[in-house]
């Protein structure tokens, strides 16, 4: 039924062909020195990536999921404390919360940005919780659990609206860990400080994933945390390495969560191209936007709030008849994805949290209508035209030119 794919959703082969010689040099260096764990390649990448994010410190770890978990632990989360995030994200965000021993609470997203709605966060913190002035702790009334922190997710490459989120966090003594796993290089304009800030430089800590398909991807599993807090960075370094302060001196129990030197070296090679790749993604997004001009009554294109500069990890459109459009594009040989079809609060894994369908209407509406179109730096404008024609052909033959 499906043609062979003419335009893939993501092309991971071409960039590695382009960088083949440089990447092989890294492999040879690692093999010839047997410097597999730690060492100068890891130190160099951590320095370079911290600099790229405008953060003081970077701690390389083995995945984005562990980056989140180690950040919560280093920030001092206690068993059963609440960490608030959104139900419209990849499950790794909430897995990390549970794995750190914390309890998940959700607030809905904003319908235009698809990221945490600061107003919904305020409503949760101020109507469902009480602030204890003596202890300085915010307590969820129904469960009596203390609220520990907030995880804004910079979804699809656009930052959440950090000013109001950080103001609420400061008011109630909450930790903020950015989930920047889809937002390497994204920027946020802080109206409060009148300055552009990079994803990964704003919270108490931030988590990045270098899963191969991310804007900066390793040749395997990898991740990192960034922070401006030296003590946090030190604790995260201990946690990733069996709780060691020095070899065989275990101050705490930790994890085997290090970043391989090989991956760090390859990430350094790719990092040199990231700013350019992100600019290309932004150009491609602008081009899609123009190509969809005649479909804007039917198709909702991504909108960039005035305070974000997105890096388009994904190019996500909304249409009422998502499944049919996806099948139509598959037939035309065009790869697509859905990020994500089932909101976390209605996933089987989270039935125990006590949420129900209807609790987060924006997330539920969005999850039913989103479709991710091909988006990667090697995508050509000719390919984009083909994607757009196929989308517009579907629209005009199924529902008329506009609704």
Ligand X SMILES: *Cc1c(COP(=O)(O)O)cnc(C)c1O
Pick the piece of the chain touching ligand X (CB under 6 A) from 85-93, 237-245, 258-266, 269-277: 85-93
Q: Does position 211 bind ligand X by CB under 6 A?
A: yes
Least Å distance, CB 192 to ligand X, is: 25
Q: Does position 265 bind ligand X by CB under 6 A?
A: no
C-alpha 339/C-alpha 92 separation (Å) is 13
Least Å distance, CB 194 to ligand X, is: 28
Quick one: which of 45, 90, 298, 394 contacts ligand X (CB under 6 A)?
90
- Sequence-separated (6 or more) residues with CB below 8 Å from residue 187: 159, 196, 197, 198, 199, 308, 309
**Strand ranges (DSSP E) for 234-362?**
244-246, 249-250, 308-309, 315-318
Quick one: which of 85, 93, 263, 384 contacts ligand X (CB under 6 A)?
93
Pick the piece of the chain touching ligand X (CB under 6 A) from 177-185, 299-307, 379-387, 393-401: 177-185
Least Å distance, CB 122 to ligand X, is: 23
Least Å distance, CB 223 to ligand X, is: 5
Pick the piece of the chain touching ligand X (CB under 6 A) from 16-24, 63-71, 136-144, 345-353: 63-71
Pick the piece of the chain touching ligand X (CB under 6 A) from 58-66, 198-206, 348-356, 365-373: 58-66
Least Å distance, CB 216 to ligand X, is: 11
C-alpha 219/C-alpha 238 separation (Å) is 25
Residue 42, CB-side half-sphere exposure with 13 Å CA sphere: 18
- Long-range CB contacts (within 8 A, 24+) of 133-140: 136/173, 137/173, 138/172, 138/173, 138/174, 140/82, 140/105
Quick one: which of 89, 215, 225, 226 contacts ligand X (CB under 6 A)?
89
Quick one: which of 115, 209, 227, 384 contacts ligand X (CB under 6 A)?
209
Least Å distance, CB 154 to ligand X, is: 8
Q: Does position 223 bind ligand X by CB under 6 A?
A: yes
What residues between 18 and 47 interact with ligand X by CB under 6 A? Answer: none
Closer to ligand X by Cβ: residue 84 or 291: 84
CA distances for 376 relative to 75, 379, 386, angstroms:
35, 6, 15
Tell me which residue has tokens 């608030």: 84
Pick the piece of the chain touching ligand X (CB under 6 A) from 89-97, 251-259, 320-328, 382-390: 89-97
Angle made by CA atoms 373, 375, 378, in degrees to the nearest 5 = 140
Q: Does position 63 bind ligand X by CB under 6 A?
A: yes
Say if residues 84 and 106 touch (Cβ distance below 8 Å). Answer: yes
The contact pattern for ligand X, residues 179-198, with x = CB under 6 A and - = no contact, is x-xx----------------
Tokens standing for residue 304: 């960039």
Name which of 267, 386, 262, 367 is nearest 323 in CA terms. 367
Least Å distance, CB 67 to ligand X, is: 7
Name which of 125, 156, 152, 153 is nearest 139 in CA terms. 125
Pick the piece of the chain touching ligand X (CB under 6 A) from 31-39, 97-105, 165-173, 178-186: 178-186
The string over 114-146, giving b where at least 16 C-beta atoms fall within 10 Å of a residue's C-beta and e elsewhere, is: bbbbbebbbebbeebbeeeeeeebbbbeeeebb
What residues between 152 and 171 interact with ligand X by CB under 6 A? Answer: 153
Q: Does position 178 bind ligand X by CB under 6 A?
A: no
Q: Provide, for the chain, the percentages of residues in helix, strand and coil under a 3-state DSSP scheme, each rounded to the nearest 5.
A: 40, 20, 40
Applying CB under 6 A, what is the total number of residues that bind ligand X?
14
- Tell me the longest C-alpha to C-alpha distance in the chain: 69
Task: Identify how many contiguous H helices and E strands the chain contains and give both numbers.
Answer: 12, 16
Binding site for ligand X (CB under 6 A): 63-65, 89-90, 92-93, 153, 179, 181-182, 209, 211, 223
């Amino acid at each position: 039924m499906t043609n062979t794919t003419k335009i893939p959703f993501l092309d991971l082969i071409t960039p590695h062909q382009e960088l083949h010689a440089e990447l092989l040099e890294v492999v040879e260096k690692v093999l010839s020195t047997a410097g597999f764990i730690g060492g100068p390649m890891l130190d160099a990448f951590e320095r370079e990536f911290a600099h790229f994010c405008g953060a003081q410190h970077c701690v390389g770890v083995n995945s984005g999921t562990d980056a989140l978990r180690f950040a919560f632990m280093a920030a001092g989360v206690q068993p059963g404390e609440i960490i608030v995030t959104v139900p419209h994200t990849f499950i790794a965000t909430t897995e990390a919360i549970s794995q750190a021993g914390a309890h998940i609470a959700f607030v809905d997203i904003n319908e235009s940005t698809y990221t945490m709605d600061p107003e919904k966060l305020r409503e949760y913190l101020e109507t469902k919780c009480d602030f204890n002035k003596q202890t300085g702790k915010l307590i969820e009334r129904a469960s009596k659990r203390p609220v520990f922190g907030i995880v804004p997710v910079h979804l699809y490459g656009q930052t959440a609206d950090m000013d109001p989120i950080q103001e609420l966090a400061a008011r109630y003594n909450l930790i903020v860990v950015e989930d920047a796993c889809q937002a390497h290089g994204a920027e946020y304009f802080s109206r409060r400080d009148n300055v552009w800030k990079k994803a990964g430089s704003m919270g108490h800590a931030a988590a990045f994933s270098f899963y191969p398909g991310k804007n900066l991807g390793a040749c395997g599993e990898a991740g990192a945390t960034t922070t401006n807090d030296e003590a946090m960075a030190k604790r995260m370094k201990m946690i990733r390495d069996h709780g060691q302060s020095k070899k065989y001196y275990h101050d705490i129990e930790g994890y085997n969560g290090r970043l391989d030197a090989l991956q760090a070296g390859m990430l350094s090679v790719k990092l040199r191209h990231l700013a350019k790749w992100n600019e290309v993604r932004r150009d491609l997004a602008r081009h899609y936007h123009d190509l969809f001009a005649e479909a804007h009554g039917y198709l909702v294109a991504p909108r960039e709030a005035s305070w974000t500069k997105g890096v388009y990890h994904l190019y996500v459109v909304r249409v009422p008849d998502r499944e049919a459009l996806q099948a139509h594009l598959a037939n035309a040989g065009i790869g697509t994805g859905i990020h994500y079809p089932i909101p976390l609060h209605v996933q089987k894994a989270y039935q125990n949290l006590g949420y129900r369908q209807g609790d987060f209407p924006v997330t539920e509406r969005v999850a039913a209508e989103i479709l991710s179109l091909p988006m990667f730096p090697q995508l050509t404008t000719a390919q984009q035209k083909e994607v757009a024609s196929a989308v517009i052909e579907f629209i005009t033959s199924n529902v008329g030119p506009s609704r």
